Amino acid sequence: LTGIPREQRAFQYLLAHAIPGDPHHILQTFDQWGYHCEHLSCVGPAKGRIVERLLLERAPLWVLELGTYCGYGTVLLAQGLPPGARLYTVEGDPQHAAVAEKVIRLAGFDEHTVELIVGPSEEVIPQLREKHGLMKADFVFMDHWKRCYLRDLQLLESHQLLAEGATILADNVLFPGAPHFLQYAKTCGRYRCKVHRASLEY
């Protein structure tokens, strides 16, 4: 009715209620919006704890996120990085990227820590090394179009962008589902797989 996209409405709520420079409070405010105002396809707090635990265990220095959306997952990842780590996040929708950029900077992360790259993942991935300086990712978080998961994993492999022992965390592989990605990951012989059971966000 207002003509303002829900992502922009969520950001306006953040501006009014969140503490700038406090990533944890930014996420809490996002969660309040998701629970009480409008549903957003963010990771949410329940699955967020899985992400936080894996980041703590792995302590990755080079992180790639596919699917920035509003920046919730980006802030979640960035706040869990060890000192000196760098996060590259890729978003195909320019309007979502514009909101995410403001959210990421509001949370206190500069371009040296978080680089937001706007463009289709299939075009961005082959350019990550030469154009953006990502040599090999040791942690990849996939939360974009589920039909792109397998294609983009194989692109990362073919461009040798995965460090030895890299962790690939993919959201929503059971619902709405990424069956071809799951089958490949389980049968290609390159990965050890674990499914984390969780409810849908909010």
| Domain boundaries, given as residue ranges, for the chain | 6-188
The verdict on pTM exceeding 0.95 is yes
Lateral strand order in the sheet of 114-118: 114-118, 86-91, 62-66, 137-142, 162-170
Q: Please check the confidence at residue 2 and state whether its pLDDT lies above 80.
A: no
pLDDT average, residue stretch 73-80: 98
Least confident of 1-10, 12-21, 113-122, 157-166: 1-10
Q: Quickly state the pLDDT bin for 1 (edges 50, 70, 90).
A: low
* Arch. (CATH architecture) of 6-188: 3-Layer(aba) Sandwich (3.40)
Instruction: Just list the catalytic residues.
Output: 143, 146, 171-172, 201
Task: Give pLDDT tens digits for 3-28.
Answer: 899 999 999 999 999 999 999 999 99
In percent, how much of the chain has pLDDT > 70? 100
Task: Give pLDDT tens digits for 90-110.
Answer: 999 999 999 999 999 999 999
pLDDT average, residue stretch 48-76: 97
